[in-house]
Structure 1
Amino acid sequence: MKSGNPLFPGWYADPEARIFEDRYWIYPTYSADYEDQTFFDAFYSDDLVVWTKSERILAAEDIEWASRAVWAPSPIYANGRYYLYFAANDIQNDEERGGIGVAVALRPEGPFLDPIGKPLIDRFVNGAQPIDPHVFIDDDGTPYLFYGGWGRCNVVRLNRDMTSLDTHDNGETFIEVTPSGYVEGPCMLKRQGRYYFMWSEGGWGGPHYSVAYAVADTPIGPFERIGKILSADPEVATGAGHHGFLNVPGTDDWYMIYHRRPLEESAANHRVVCIERMEFEDDGTIRPVKLTFEGVGPQLLPPRHPGE
């Protein structure tokens, strides 16, 4: 038995994936028009095949400053709590209210609440629109938040409270890490001591959305583009991009979780969440990921402690 693609019914996009409390979790955007894209659902599985929905783990109505759509959730476990970073309001300049927010919960399914009552990042820095957050905790415990739209990407350090910004070693709060071809949707993983930075290219509403990557020796680069690893397949789907990943603990088994648009769909928001294996060559480069209708087979998790 395989998971099949899409993994679950409904229009969803921008998935982030984690392992929380001995389960696989996916946190996507509810893909709809802006007036309807005002809440987050999450999905969990014990085996990557059967997925169960946790509804409305966070809604815009619970965020005092969120007046428009919310999207691109990025969760992490730290300090005995679950933190969820997200974009809201799609601000176009520093005078508008919105940006990147953070919410916190005691359980991976929420309910998530806004602990600071304002955006964590609410202005343009280095030309980066404050959208599409991706949180990453390095092996030394340092938390980083990558983010950015409009073709620019920044990285900030978070304080250990996970709800405020720290400074980098050079004293700066924001460091630009934009690689060639970057559009939005940053994603970071660490494998065998190296940092794999991935991002989406192309327009999210069009057929040529895709994912490219770079590799560096530090979490702040420099990141030199290597190439694409996820693209449309004319026999399967278009608009494949904005992804997350899973690594089975204690193994070198990796999965890419991403969204794509079925061939029969042309509406920008008609996107579905899918999964494929992500494999590495002996030299550490990533093999191009093949889009499938089958998805992946069952993969149980080894027992482990709560959180990641």
Structure 2
Amino acid sequence: MKRLMLLALLFSASFAALAQQKKNKSLSGNPVFPGWYADPEGIIFGKNYWIYPTYSAPYNQQVFMDAFSSPDLVNWTKHPRIIDTTAIKWAKRAMWAPAIVEKAGKYFLFFGANDIQNDQEVGGIGVAVADKPSGPFKDHLGKPLIDRFINGAQPIDQFVFKDKDGQYYMIYGGWRHCNIAKLNDDFTGFVPFPDGTTFKEITPKGYVEGPFMFMRNGKYYFMWSEGGWTGPNYSVAYAVSDSPFGPFERVDKILKQDPKVATGAGHHSVIQAPGKDQWYIVYHRRPLTETDGNHRETCIDRMEFDENGLIKPVQITFEGVKAQPLR
């Protein structure tokens, strides 16, 4: 009996120590949460950071999405199955690369599904809506928002960018082509540009997939992934312009593998600390021990600029980032 009591006390003390250690955790570590997850969309809603990734598995198993929230970039909470193919009747597999925005108290989740290879297949880019960032999300249209190839762009890897005038744009595309289109007010379709076109191609040199855009000091930074997603040389490059429509001249590659840390670092997003010139890049990479293309992990590292506003090469780390609580 005494031995059992002693074991119980030791277990209790160990548990308390682990709990305190977790409570006092000051670095995120990389990956920031366990499991195979890729294509992360990082964003801030209220007093929490959120990450919406692809569940990284064979296409026929990619039938749902999880989300993760954190008050400080260090301690993350999993929100399982915020959406799945039971809510999106036209989607059957390959639910990819979510993007999310909040508008008028509603949360709109954009995603690719089915990995269509031509205009005769059902699939493309869809949109779902929920009352909370944790879902559950339901189909906003009952069909894809974009279901065909336009300007050579496979309808995948969508990012929704809110411009300084409040206008929302969708920037998307695989197969080495990227389009931009103006979303309508309720995200059910698109508004033509003054010249009558609806989709404008803005593909920069080297573009493969995974577009992302943000603004800093009045400039538009357009970022994308290069290389093959299953290979070690997957990476992120960028361009800068005075307009969301470009022209975008490739500046440099800023995120790539480190043979001492991980390979296949790419398909990213960017988070700015509120009110600060402090930036984080959220991306996926493949551990050095893994050869399976789907074995990808979500990581966060600092992203910094030089005195000319150019992005410095990102050092990928095991440590991750320091706690940055939202107030």
Structure-1 residue corresponding to 2:121? 96
Q: Secondary structure at the match of 2:138?
A: coil
- State the Cα deviation string for residues 104-135 of structure 1 (Å, max 9, x = none): 11100001111210000000000000000001
Structure-2 residue corresponding to 1:23? 48
Matched AA of 1:198 = M
Q: How does 1:133-152 map to 2 (within 5 A)?
A: 133-152=158-177
Structure-2 residue corresponding to 1:81? 106
Structure 2: stretches of 5+ with no match in the other structure: 1-25
Q: How does 1:207-226 map to 2 (within 5 A)?
A: 207-226=232-251
Structure-1 residue corresponding to 2:7? none
Q: Matches of 1:202 and 1:281 in 2, distance apart?
A: 26
1:160 pairs with 2:168: no
Matched AA of 1:27 = Y
Aligned CA RMSD, in angstroms, stands at 0.7
Structure-2 residue corresponding to 1:246? 271
Q: Matches of 2:130 and 2:198 in 1, distance apart?
A: 26
The alpha-carbon deviation at position 251 of structure 1 amounts to 0.6
Q: Secondary structure at the match of 1:276?
A: strand
Structure-2 residue corresponding to 1:174? 199
Structure-2 residue corresponding to 1:281? 306
TM-score by length of 1: 0.97
Select the structure with the greater relative contact order (CA < 8 A; seq sep ≥ 6).
1
Q: Matches of 1:43 and 1:214 in 2, distance apart?
A: 29
- State the Cα deviation string for residues 131-188 of structure 1 (Å, max 9, x = none): 0000111111100011000000001110111221112232210000000000000000
- State the Cα deviation string for residues 188-211 of structure 1 (Å, max 9, x = none): 011111100000000001110000
Structure 1: stretches of 5+ with no match in the other structure: 303-308
Structure-2 residue corresponding to 1:232? 257
Counterpart of 1:206 (choices 231, 250, 253) is 231
Is the Cα contact below 8 Å between 1:7 and 1:273 reproduced in 2? yes
Matched AA of 1:209 = Y
1:39 pairs with 2:64: yes
Counterpart of 2:294 (choices 244, 249, 269) is 269
Structure-1 residue corresponding to 2:35? 10
Q: Considering only CA atoms, is the larger Rg found in Structure 1 or Structure 2?
A: 2
Higher helix share: 2
Structure-2 residue corresponding to 1:188? 213
Q: Matches of 1:77 and 1:169 in 2, distance apart?
A: 27
1:297 pairs with 2:322: yes
Q: Matches of 2:276 and 2:220 in 1, distance apart?
A: 17
Count of residues paired in the alignment: 302
The alpha-carbon deviation at position 79 of structure 1 amounts to 2.1
> Percent of counterpart pairs with the same letter?
63
The alpha-carbon deviation at position 285 of structure 1 amounts to 0.4
